[in-house]
Amino acid sequence: MKAATPESPPLRLLLDTHALLWWLAEPERLSSQAYAAIAATDNQVTVSAASAWELATKVRIGKLSVAAQLLDDLPQVISSQGFAMLPITFSDGLRAGSYPQAHRDPFDRLLAAQAELHAFTLVSVDPALKDFPCRLLW
């Protein structure tokens, strides 16, 4: 991806949990556009506390045991990638819970709310998120 120009300002990206995992362990699973946007040094890449919560939950219930070691150093791993960490606010929770769209995954609802409220582009392959009022990139 080229450096930002007046015609193409830097992007503010929020990674869906799968995008974070794929970036760290299986980058070939990312679309070329998602990979280029995350790799571009002029873009701001952010990881939500919702992703930490989702990873910890999935490891705990045995759905993502391969990420168990990652949890021990997750804040350091995120920082070492140059990514920012986004806390969950009360407003984020209210917005996520009030969406009329059908999507049962509370983590995805929260990521969509954070992307919308904090002006991020959500990096996600999830087609169900296209019905939410946030910008998507894949």
All structural domains of the chain: 12-137 (3.40.50.1010)
CB neighbour list of residue 104: distance below 8 Å, 6 or more residues apart: none
pLDDT at residue number 26: 92
Single pTM value for the model: 0.90
Mean pLDDT across 4-18: 84
**Apex 124 CA angle, 104 and 75, nearest 5:** 95
C-alpha to C-alpha distance for 111 and 98, rounded to whole angstroms: 13
Query: Tell me: the pLDDT tens digits for 84-122?
Result: 999 999 999 999 999 998 778 899 999 999 999 999 999
| Confidence band, pLDDT 50/70/90 cuts, at residue 2 | very low
C-alpha to C-alpha distance for 71 and 49, rounded to whole angstroms: 12
Q: Is 47 helix (H, G, I), strand (E, B) or coil?
A: strand
What are the strands of the beta sheet with 44-48, ordered from one edge?
84-86, 44-48, 12-15, 121-123, 135-137
Q: Is 12 helix (H, G, I), strand (E, B) or coil?
A: strand
Share of the chain above pLDDT 70, in %: 94
CA 54 distance to own-chain centroid: 11
User: Of all helices (H) and strands (E), which one includes residue 84?
Assistant: strand 84-86
CA 131 distance to own-chain centroid: 17
C-alpha to C-alpha distance for 138 and 119, rounded to whole angstroms: 17
